[in-house]
A and B are shown apart, each in its own frame.
Chain A
Amino acid sequence: MGTQRVVRARGVTKCFGDVVALDGVDLDLLPGRIHGLVGPNGAGKTTLLGLLLGLAVADSGDLEILGRPVGRALAAPGGVAGFVDGPGLYPSLTARQNLAALAALRGQNARTARPRIDGALAEVGLTDVADDKARGFSLGMRQRLGLAAALLTDPRLLVLDEPANGLDPAGKKHVHGVLTRLAAEGTTVVLSSHRMDDLEALCSEVTILATGRVRFSGPLDKLAGESRELEYRLLSSAPEAARRLAAGTAGIRVVEESAAWRGAEALVVSAQLPALDELVAALVRADIAVRELAPVVSPLEAAFLALTEQQEADA
């Protein structure tokens, strides 16, 4: 069964003077997915999110959002909500007043908007401070209130720039819960972050941008296969036997220097996925229990670091 695109970008280019912020970007976003946007500083993430929110127009290329071509005029397409560079809040208004003003702007009357506002505040965990002025809010609370503001509009495409900034574990849990629910209900979420753990926990797809160009775009699990060799941490019932097996398996390299900082029980090996599969099979055949096997650095972070290193080498 085919899936309809929520965003379709082809050859989108955006320049600011001599600086090329986006260079021929192709992007497809599907409904009900949480899509991560990763890249070093200056990669063009915020510019791309700004285009999706209608804050800027591309210099060239085609961009369609929710099936409608984006014109040359600045205007956020209908069904799109979110924020870039932090949520916009008015510090002299309370959290509830901020949302009520936004709801009134959208034509919702105060009586019908009230339960929605209360629901949105509860969902992001701000019920207790609903009547406090936003002036005193921490960054994490501001992020959550910004997300609540976006929820009021029932978006089909939610665009968030670094939504995890400043969030404590409880706030993170609220935000993750909201985004997961939205995606389950069919909303497409696109978010940028430098927090790879957040992206890996939330996203089904990622796009890696560097110097305005798409370096990878696709499912997260595909990234592991397409990226270079990764280091994995292995805990087993027989560390020494496991070390010997690993050393004798083709495509596996034991990272000896890791013993000093991982401890004698842990083994760190460097491998691509097929070789790793063989090692696991060999361990099982040797009656060695595998207690833990996880990448030392996540595939996403590894890809990101590889890109950064490549950029530095190019420079």
Chain B
Amino acid sequence: MTMTVADDQVDGTEAGPEPDAVQVPVTRAYRFELVKLVSQWRIRLLVLVCWTVPGLFVAAVSQQSTLPTDTLFGRWMHATGWAGPLVVLGFAGSWALPLITSVVAGDVFAAEDRLGTWRHLLVAVRSLRRIFAAKALAALTVILLLVAGLVASASVGGLLSVGDQRLVGLDGHLLSPSGAAGNVLLAWVCVLAPTLALAAIGLLGSVVLGRSPMGLLLPALVAVAMQLAQMLPLPVALRLALPGYAFIAWHGLFTSPGQPRELLISVAVSLVWTAVATWLAYRLFLRRDFTNASDDGIGRRALPVALLPLVALLAVGFGAVAVATPSLGSGISQAKVQQSVATAFAHLYRLQTEQLQRPAVTEAQLQATAVCDRSDGQVDPEGPGNDWRCVVSWHLPGAAAPGSAVYQLDVTSDGRIEADGDGPKDVNGYFLVRTPTGDAPNPLWQFDSDVELIPASPKG
């Protein structure tokens, strides 16, 4: 039996229409989200760590006799304070930035599921669109704050402990302190693009996976997967189509001339990933049903809905880069390796000459060339490997015979070259050189360089 209140209790007139629900502006919702984020102990801890630890690390390492030579620019940490932020950047691209995006963006939606506060938030803000915008902006703000802390802290630590000297670039050329400062800042700005891509993937995971720890870990897992992919012999176009290649491509800022094409492509790819992943997260968030408190996500169907567009994006990106830059091979050829080693050697030879206070020479006078092969000619001289060997020759003005030096190379699949001098001793066979003022690190003993993986021109 259904019984309802007697109709004589109501006269059919309705309460005066309530004015439209007051819309909470995005700015207020954004402040609310910031308050919530900053009140979390782990975010506070991250802020503290990002603003102090890099500086302390750089200052401490710069005082050690052993430097992190396996990290780009690590071998120059005694020489200039600008090497520190680049060492930190190399580490951050692999670990710190993915973890930051995981903790901040990967949790910004899931936290409401964990705390059971979605309904409270919906009643308070009254707009899913505004909630999404506020959360995304708040996560972006905190991530930028943390990245700013990393670069500021590392730079201050390096400059205070070592000083504002010239920086040796990846091809051995010298950057003035101001030039180094500008390029360091630019490099950090460039890695914001892949950081944002990981953050967008974090937002997507946070929306789709809810309370599941996988949502929190997604950016870190994607970053690890991308690192593993970069270690595999993949076509260059596929490397560039991954959202994280700008974590490597910033190396091109530290050669002369620069290698901006890889950097621009990878930044553009990262920004497209950012836009697509954010849009997907937004669409899926708007579809979510908040009536069931036990439902913390979009459901199993959302996984393919979220995953398939990203796989398609990777395929489209791969195709686009492959068409724009015909680069389906490893991108590491004999000619590129020889050119890179000869260029770096010439630049560093000048530096050694300066250290030894010998008459100055120019790169043009040296006419340095390198002849490189792999496994004593038994393997095709291309692709990554640690069996590269180069013989570098150069001419000194007034000398009858050219000089020569041998290097063993480890060429990694991302184009990085680690050259290890193999003699003669007074050129590149020993880690110290005897200068008029005492022993000093020998710049020709071991050095880093790199090759641009994409061809020099579309025809190339």
Contacts and interface: CB of A to CB of B under 8 A. Distances in A.
Interface in A39-98: 47, 50, 53-56, 64-68, 74-93, 97
B109 to A, nearest CB: 14
B40 interface: yes
Contacts of B20: 78
B318 to A, nearest CB: 39
Number of chain B interface residues as a range: 35 or more
A252 interface: no
Contact of A3 (B9, B35, B128, B289): B9
Interface in B228-249: none
Interface stretch (A215-223, A236-244, A280-288, A290-298): A215-223
A198 interface: no
Contacts of A83: 119-120, 123
A16 interface: yes
Q: Which of B20, B28, B115, B119 has the most CB of A within 10 A?
A: B119
A216 B17 contact: no
Contact of B291 (A8, A55, A156, A216): A55
Given A90-B117, A106-B22, A74 B128 contact: yes
Contact of A104 (B13, B31, B118, B292): B31
Interface stretch (A24-32, A113-121, A163-171, A259-267): A24-32
A28 B13 CA distance: 12
Given A88-B118, A213-B2, A2 B11 contact: yes
A78 B19 contact: yes
Nearest to A57: B291
B36 A93 contact: yes
B124 A67 contact: no
A99 B12 CA distance: 38
Contact of B119 (A88, A90, A156, A217): A88
Contacts of B293: 84-85
A139 B24 CA distance: 29
A82 B40 CA distance: 25
A105 interface: yes
Contacts of B125: 105
A6 B14 CA distance: 7
Given A30-B10, A76-B122, A77-B21, A215 B291 contact: no
A88 B17 CA distance: 28
Contact of B39 (A3, A64, A78, A93): A93
Interface in A199-220: 205, 213-219
Contacts of B116: 85-86, 88
B359 interface: no
A226 interface: yes
Contacts of A85: 116, 119, 293
Given A77-B18, A85-B116, A105 B28 contact: yes
Contacts of B19: 78
A274 to B, nearest CB: 19
B121 interface: yes
Contacts of B127: 75
A123 B294 CA distance: 32
B18 A8 contact: no
A68 B16 CA distance: 8
Contacts of B16: 4, 67
A106 B357 CA distance: 71
A54 B290 CA distance: 10
B76 to A, nearest CB: 42
A6 B9 CA distance: 13
Contacts of A105: 24, 28-29, 32, 124-125
Nearest to A214: B2
B15 interface: yes
A306 to B, nearest CB: 11
A218 B6 contact: yes
B18 A215 contact: no
A5 interface: yes
B17 A67 contact: yes
A150 B261 CA distance: 56
A102 interface: yes
A104 B13 CA distance: 35
B41 to A, nearest CB: 7
Contacts of A67: 14-18
Contacts of A88: 115-121
10 tightest CB-CB pairs across the interface, nearest first? A88-B120, A2-B11, A88-B117, A66-B18, A78-B21, A56-B291, A92-B39, A67-B14, A4-B15, A67-B15
Given A3-B11, A90-B36, 7 more contacts: A5-B10, A53-B119, A66-B18, A78-B20, A85-B116, A106-B124, A216-B3
